Structure 1
Amino acid sequence: MKSVTPRPSGPEVVGALYHANVPSTILYCSDTLRPRRVDTHFSAEAAQVGELGGRIALIDHDALLSGDVAAAVARVPEGLGPTWYRGWMIPPDRYEELAAAVERRGAHLVTTSAMYRGAHELPGWYRELSGLTPASAWTPTPPGVVPSDRQLLDLVSALPAGEGMVKDYVKSRKHEPDACLIPDISDVEQLRAVVSRFVERQDTDLVGGIVLRHREEFRTLDGRVAELRTWWVDGELATSGPHPDTPGATGDPDLGRLAEAVRRLDRRFVTVDLAQRVDGVWRVIELGDGQVSDFPAEGDMTPLLSALLAAP
């Protein structure tokens, strides 16, 4: 793994012009009540960035989501140069606005808008990982709209028979089985009922459209699928460990085929979540943009942050 040579710096927010040929700055969300400070969820991580010689700057996540992009980037210094983002999830359209806004201030997000959407939404990564993840099919739909029976049956025709699950391009409601799990995808009434509940509960948060996935049987831990999370920077594994939702998960999957697939994707910074099927085979559960992926509270972020700060 690449290493970084620390530069003299503290964990304070950058407040002056800073130029570099590597993305040595990371944008964090500001605290809602103390806007000059990093959001408490990310404050320890941001402090470690300073210890490693990196710089941090702040954006207002609430302002960004509300559409006030100028206010969102008001604390981003002019001439910042290349930078990563690490913070709360951003809808792809808002991320595009953020990228344009920081560009106007002489900075640029290393993860482009196209890269972000391609990692954030399942259709952007499924093709390259199709042999490593449960079979999936999708159709674009706006929030509040349930696909017709004909559309649902067309999706089902691309999947193996048996159990399935529904999600949108980004998220499922896996903790609500009646709005996620489909016992028999060939039963159109059952299929329509589960998809309808999912669409209703996602409401305006539904992203992209409806995805149907074949349901595979995975090993569990405390009632949840036991997942590992792997972190990749420029196609190289930076670190790995338990998924934040299953901190006790363990395993040693062979990542050879996955590494090849991640490199083909051409994304700067992604996470890949893995789980072991009951037959022992490791499978990809999800790929996500690393900028908006959570890190386990007890994990060591040094390898990951060092890789980000050293990225060319």
Structure 2
Amino acid sequence: QSRDTLADIIPKIELKVIKETYFLFCENPFESNKVDEDYADEFESAKINGFRTLLFNFDDLTSEFYFKNATKQIKASENLSNVIYRGWMLTPKQYSNLYEDLLSKNYKLINNVTEYQNCHYLPDSLEFIESKTPKSVFEKFENSESIEKLIEKTKKFGSNSVILKDYVKSEKHDWETACYVSDASNVQNLKNSIENLIRLRGKYLNEGIVVREFIELNDLTIHSKSGMPLTEEYRLFFFNQKLVEIYDYWEEGKYDLIKPETKEFEEIGKNVKSNFFSMDIAREKNGNLIIIELGDGQVAGLPDKAERNEFYKKLKNYIC
């Protein structure tokens, strides 16, 4: 389907001068007048830093039949105001529904639908990060023929190792059977892993499948609960193409006190067509830094060790 939607066209029309910026959060599923408890700390931090807040019903928005009821508690604003969403991931269609519904009430989400998808879907992000991220091929999933087309594209990897994911997420906890393939030229094994990934993602499969070159990253530690090996990774947040902050990605493991140099990534960030996005970077075993992926800043989680009040305080400096 075309990505040139009403939500992309309307923002180009100057309706009114934007007066204020709100933060939008999901309601608690059991108490409509309270925020989802997983975002309670961010909700309070936004208010402490002087932002006004809005709540909507996430379950309604993600429902095929009730999405139009998602913002029924939000009253129309007299002045056009910017809105920054902080919450759970949305498909581009769900985001489009939210965008258009809010705009009808005079609230404009910080990213339009195209800008959201630019960083939410890896294939769309490649336009901005391809020179600094692992080689990748992808195919929209429609049927078994899609898998065959994707396998044909993977021939460029030869017998090298690859990892699998959909356009947004992987199944890392099923590393050996649905994520990591040690030899991309082993077609049967590759096909089995792709089919396992599709089965595990089920109805949550995001658009299609991506096959990426496997890069050896610098080891950090073993996760105390899942047993998954953790590598040296960082999450950067950008607002209006400017770096807001860089955080250690994992809550466990010993990171250096001095964060990596970000100048090269800041230059790349200047060309990303999004007003608010995250960039995950990682250190290879040889010491080089690469980009793992981009994410829309509205649905990118803050690492556990990130101080929420400080994050919103820094955002305020870029917004105001």
TM class by shorter-chain length? Answer: 0.7 to 0.9
| 1:230 has 2:228 as partner | no
Alignment of 1:24-63 (within 5 A): 24-63=21-60
Amino acid at match of 2:38: H
C-alpha displacement of 1:28 = 0.4
What RMSD over aligned residues (CA atoms) do the two structures have, in Å?
2.1
Query: After superposition, what is the alpha-carbon deviation per residue over 1:250-273, rounded to whole angstroms, capped at 9, x for unaligned?
Result: 463222222122211121111111
Going from structure 1 to structure 2, the CA distance change for 1:38 and 1:282 (only over 3 Å counts) comes to same
Task: Give the equivalent residue in structure 2 for 1:208.
Answer: 207
Identity among equivalent positions (%) equals 24
Displacement of 1:159 in angstroms is 3.4
Normalising to structure 1: TM-score of the pair?
0.87
SS of 2:172's partner is coil
Structure 1 contact 180–194 (Cα < 8 Å) conserved: yes
1:174 pairs, out of 166, 172, 176, with: 172
Residue of structure 1 in register with 2:5 after alignment: none
- Deviation per CA, 1:167-219: give whole Å up to 9, x if none: 11101111211111111001111111111111111111111211100001012
What residue in structure 1 maps to residue 183 of structure 2? 184
Closer, same or farther: CA 148–295 of 1 in aligned 2, 3 Å: closer
Q: Partners in 1 of 2:153 and 2:204 — Cα distance?
A: 22
CA–CA separation in structure 2 for the residues paired with 1:98 and 1:214: 35
2:90 alignment partner AA: I
Structure 2: which amino acid aligns with 1:65?
T
Which residue does the alignment assign to 2:140? Answer: 140
Partner residue of 2:107? 107
* Structure 1 residue runs without a partner (length 5+): 1-18
The 1:160/1:246 distance shift into structure 2, 3 A limit, reads: farther
Q: Which residue of 2 is the match for residue 276 of structure 1? A: 283
- Is the aligned partner of 1:254 residue 2:261? yes
| In structure 1, C-alpha distance between the alignment counterparts of 2:251 and 2:209, rounded to whole Å | 24
Runs of 5+ unmatched residues, structure 2: 1-15, 223-228
Distance of 1:166 and 1:147 partners within structure 2: 17
Paired residue for 1:264, among 261, 268, 271? 271
Distance in 2, matches of 1:208 and 1:136, equals 16
**Equivalents in 2 of 1:113, 1:77: separation in Å?**
22
Q: Once the 2 structures are TM-superposed, how far is the Cα of residue 153 of structure 1 from its aligned partner?
A: 3.4
Measure how far apart 1:36 and its partner are.
0.3
Code of the residue aligned with 1:234 in structure 2: it is: N
CA distance in 1, matches of 2:253, 2:59: 29
Name the structure, 1 or 2, with higher relative contact order (CA <8 Å, separation 6+): 1
* Contact in 2 for aligned 1:161/1:185 (Cα 8 Å): yes
Give yes or no for contact 1:227–1:246 (8 Å, CA) kept in 2: no
| Equivalences, count | 292
Residues 229, 272 of structure 1: 8 Å contact kept:
yes
Q: After the TM superposition, which parts of structure 1 deviate over 6 Å for at least 4 consecutive aligned residues?
A: none
Q: CA deviation at 1:104?
A: 1.1
Greater Cα offset, 279-288 or 247-256: 247-256
SS of 1:211's equivalent? strand
* Cα drift, residue 148 of structure 1: 5.3
